[in-house]
Amino acid sequence: MILVDDAGGQWPTIGHAPWNGCNLADFVMPFFLFIVGMAIPLAFKRIKRWDKSVGKVILRTLKLLFWGLLLQGGYSHAPDKLTYGVDMKKIRWCGILQRIAFAYFVVALVEIFTKDKRVKDLSTNRLAIFRLYCWHWLVGASVLIIYLAVIYGTYVPDWQFTVHDIDSADNGKQFTVACGVRGKLDPPCNAVGYIDREVLGINHMYHHPAWRRSKVHDILSLRAYYPS
């Protein structure tokens, strides 16, 4: 990720895809989550007491949240000028590490509370893996169904934002993004962004997303925003 952050702007193929597509950097988080998931049953295999396992999960989750807030929460405002400090009005509550912490917490609890309920004697048929991990499959399917229902069923109304860029001619101006739709997956009108803005607040979101490098952003700059 250091390579991506420092060189991604010069070599786009190793940086994050602006919106549609998939580049090298886009494989990092999925593979990291896969590694975390594979490590969970190994980590708790020899711990018999569920309360001790839950305690370890909570502690590790808090550690990830702490480092996420410290490294990605906006603690360093200007690294080139070595100015630091937390601006609570703009702190990024839910960065990558915080999201990994949430995923780890949920999956680890599923593993802890279902490992003793697995069927011990299984045949070697093709459906054995589904019987062995039936609770995992059920939770995964439920999460997928809820996710699809939310992103395609949530109504996204028009929303406003204020430009905070002293180098921009629009600094201090307020704009409105015209949405009023359901099921759109483009950057300004998708349900995930809407929920993040409502729950976290627009000032607590990431202000330099990769999609700003896309053609969609150029089109939005001309047509989708209008001063309010």
β-pairing, 155-156 with 181-182?
A: antiparallel
Please state, in angstroms and rounded to a whole number, the distance separating the CA atoms of residues 118 and 153.
35
Q: Order of strands, edge to edge, in the sheet holding 159-162? A: 159-162, 174-177, 225-227
- Residue 222, pLDDT score: 39
Instruction: Judge contact between 60 and 52, C-beta under 8 A.
Output: no
pLDDT tens digits in sequence order for the chain, 228 residues long: 666 666 655 666 777 777 777 888 888 888 888 999 889 988 888 888 888 999 999 999 999 998 888 877 766 555 555 555 666 777 788 888 888 999 999 999 988 888 877 666 566 677 777 777 888 888 889 999 999 999 999 999 998 888 777 777 877 888 888 899 999 988 888 999 899 889 888 877 777 666 665 555 544 443 444 333
Two tokens at 41?
């049953």
Instruction: Judge contact between 184 and 190, C-beta under 8 A.
Output: yes
pTM of the predicted structure, to 2 decimals = 0.75
Burial environment of residue 29 by CB neighbours within 10 A (0 to 12, 13 to 18, 19 or more): middle
Contacts of 18 (CB under 8 A, 6+ apart): 210, 211, 212, 213, 214, 216, 217
- The structural domains of the chain, with segments of one domain joined by +, span 2-118, 119-153, 155-227
